[in-house]
Amino acid sequence: MDTQQILIYIVVGATFALYIGIAIWARAGSTGEFYAAGRGVHPVMNGMATAADWMSAASFISMAGLIAFMGYDGSRFLMGWTGGYVLLAMLLAPYLRKFGKYTVPEFIGDRFYSSTARIVAVICLLVASITYVIGQMTGVGVTFSRFLEVSNTTGLFIGAAVVFAYAVLGGMKGITYTQVAQYIVLITAYTIPAIFISLNITGNPIPPLGLFSDTVGEGVPLLQKLNMLMTDLGFSEYTERNDSILNMFLYTMSLMIGTAGLPHVIIRFFTVPRVADARWSAGWALVFIALLYLVAPAVGSMARLNIIQTIYPGDSEVALDQRAIEYEERPDWMRTWETTGLISFEDKNDDGRIQYYNETEFFADTAEQYGWAGNELVINRDILVLANPEIANLPMWVVALVAAGGLAAALSTAAGLLLAISSAISHDLIKSVINPNISEKGELLAARISMAVAIAFATYLGLNPPGFAAQTVALAFGLAASSIFPALMMGIFSKRINNWGAICGMLTGLLVTVGYVFTYLGMFFLPGTNLLPNTPDAWIFGISPAAFGTIGALFNFLVAYLVSNATADTPQEIQDLVESVRVPRGAGVATAH
């Protein structure tokens, strides 16, 4: 084992020891502590925990790369995954905190005085959360195998064991305080390499400012230079929009309302002492999320520029074909990452040089002139974050920190999702439907067992990820956007929406969205069962399946309104419930600190 490996083991081992230490310190003694951390979490702490809960393995490892390769179009993820917090802060979190119960389906069941509505909500919650958790578990396995040279399977078991320790023992209480620690690990790991890359390329130590600064040396704005190099290589400009305006609009909206409707995020706001804290806490959550989301687009564009300049070094006056580097002279980080398969080279025209460009029709003539026979370098998007420390020649402990950061991001999100899943089972199914007479102690035990089963199930799915895992994320956001978000919002802002309206609305939103997704991605994502090809030409009005949640939500609102107006008025006690949710005074007080 070399020094680098030993360092990674030490840093990752130390963070894991910290998480387990917190688990032992923050054990849950009651259902109130298991489901809502005793409602004693400070709003700033909850903001940090929410940020870790929200930012997944994908945010940490893949987002910067996604933006680097999508350019302007990638902005939908930046705006969508942050704009949802404005909706949470103003439309959902404070009122649901005032309601003062433990789960999202519980509010839907009580407000719409219907266990059918509650069960529909449980189904949406389970589908959305389980599809989401698969990605986290595979993320744990992948990070382990890349950095710690253990097999995927071993890595997954170690990760699952750590989550088991603090989630089963501590429930929401244990998860909250480990998430705070995990946030600190992941944000440090993310920003340190970013600061150095920004310094190298723009001379500005603050990456979000560097993004809009001039490059070191030539003094040309970074984005202009990137635009120029990309068009030289047959790509469209980095700042140019390639998607249609309508799809960009609906996609961003779907991500926003999907974010606001995801149960594992909403339940975090049940842990603060007061309604006012829920509002502040949403602000703090966005502060901590923004620290990463403002850095990610900077990392994306700088890493993209860096890769292009590594392959085509030298004076921009010289033609590209003269500048392409010899394969034998490639930098060390490329050699290292070639062994993982994340970057691969094939010398198609046998000239010993690397040619990296976009094989489009309009660039074909130029490529032929240069004597290029096709793009020779395939780069995995994730490499932009994972290889950053090596690209910037940072010391070995930074590489170790990035490994720990990736694991922190995956584990913290997995734990939040697992809590949403297990509380839906123990509280919404066992306590409310199967055995309402269960004692407090019995329910706590049921909650712990549900958590253990959920972890085992998630581990199984992580080991045997269904082939469609990547595509189901569209479904998770689509369901949250089209069924959960509208139901919650109408439950708070309208007294007129009744049980039938809510049930019909949720089911319509659900079916329309699932129907649209399955039409293009296959029935239950089985390859070959899609009715129409998944291409922009075949999409209705060019709306992609991932952007369809917004349309599903509109159907939900419309149907709920029409059905409610055609059926009986909501009972007086429900109207009183809505009134009480709207004012902060009288909320359940903190049970523990």
Partner 1 sequence: MTMTESGTAYWKANLRLVTGCLIVWALVSFGAAILFRPLLLGIEFGGADLGFWFAQQGSILVFLALIFFYAWRMNTLDKKFGVDEL
Task: Kindly list the residues in this chain that would bind partner 1 in the complex (CB under 8 A).
Answer: 72, 75, 78-79, 82-83, 85-86, 89-91, 94, 208, 211-214, 220-225, 239, 241, 245, 248-249, 252-253, 256, 274-276, 279-280, 282-283, 286-287, 290, 293-294, 297, 579, 582-587
Q: What is the CA radius of gyration of the chain?
A: 25
- The total of other beta-carbon atoms located within 10 Å of residue 98's CB is 20
Residue 378 host element (H or E): strand 377-379
Two structure tokens written together for 107:
């509010």
C-alpha closest to that of 352 among 375, 316, 327, 376: 327
| Smallest distance from partner 1 to CB 280, Å | 5
Residue 208 vs 466, nearer CB to partner 1: 208
Are 303 and 68 in contact by the 8 Å Cβ rule? The answer is yes
∠ CA 204-206-211, rounded to 5°: 75
Beta bridge partners of 492: none
Please name the amino acid found at residue 368: E
Residue 296 · residue 283 · CB < 8 Å: no
> Of 276 and 470, which has the nearer Cβ to partner 1?
276
Shortest approach of partner 1 to residue 104 CB, angstroms? 21
Of 450 and 570, the one with the shorter C-beta distance to partner 1 is 570
Distance of CA 588 to the CA centre of its chain: 31
Across the chain, which distance is largest between two alpha carbons, in Å?
81
Tell me whether residue 287 or residue 342 sits nearer to partner 1 (CB atom): 287
What the block records as the tokens of 575 is 């109207």
In the complex, least distance from residue 91 CB atom to partner 1, rounded to whole angstroms = 7
Residue 258 beta carbon to partner 1: minimum distance, rounded to whole angstroms: 15
Residue 125 belongs to what H/E stretch? Answer: helix 115-147
Q: 66 or 403, CB closer to partner 1?
A: 66
Three-class HEC string of 144-195: HHHHCCCCHHHHHHHHHHHHHHHHHHHHHHHHHHHHHHHHHHHHHHHHHHHH
Q: In terms of CB distance, is 181 or 275 closer to partner 1?
A: 275
Q: For residue 197, what is the enclosing H or E element?
A: helix 152-202
Nearer to partner 1, 289 or 403 (CB): 289
CA 476 to CA 184: how far, in whole Å? 27
- Beta carbon of residue 145, minimum distance to partner 1 (angstroms, whole number): 32
What DSSP line would sit under 300-355, residue for residue? HHHHHHHHHHHHS-S-TTS-HHHHPPBGGG--HHHHHHHTTTSEEE--TT-SSB--
Name the residue nearer to partner 1 (CB basis): 282 or 476: 282
Minimum gap (Å) between residue 82 Cβ and partner 1: 5
CA atoms within 13 A on the CB side of 310: 17
Query: How many whole angstroms separate alpha carbon 407 and alpha carbon 422?
Result: 22
Nearest CB to partner 1, comparing residues 348 and 582: 582
Length of the chain: 593
The DSSP H or E segment spanning 377 is: strand 377-379
CB of 67 to partner 1, least distance (A): 8
Closer residue to partner 1 in complex, CB, 91/123:
91
Give whichever of 583 and 592 is closer to partner 1, judged by the CB atom.
583
Alpha helices in 339-469 (DSSP H): 364-370, 383-386, 388-391, 396-423, 440-463
Residue 324 token pair: 């392409």
CB of 208 to partner 1, least distance (A): 6
Minimum CB–partner distance for residue 399 and partner 1 (Å): 27
* Distance (Å, whole) CA 312 – CA 470: 33
Q: How far is the CB of 238 from partner 1 (least distance, A)?
A: 8
Residue 255 token pair: 């991500």
Smallest separation (angstroms) from partner 1 to the CB of 227? 8
Q: For partner 1, which is the closer residue by CB, 82 or 519?
A: 82
- Which residue, 286 or 403, has its beta carbon nearer to partner 1? 286
C-alpha distances (whole Å) from 229 to each of 250, 302, 312, 358, 395 are 31, 13, 10, 12, 30
Shortest Cβ distance from residue 366 to partner 1 (Å)?
25
Cβ 559 to partner 1 shortest distance, Å:
23
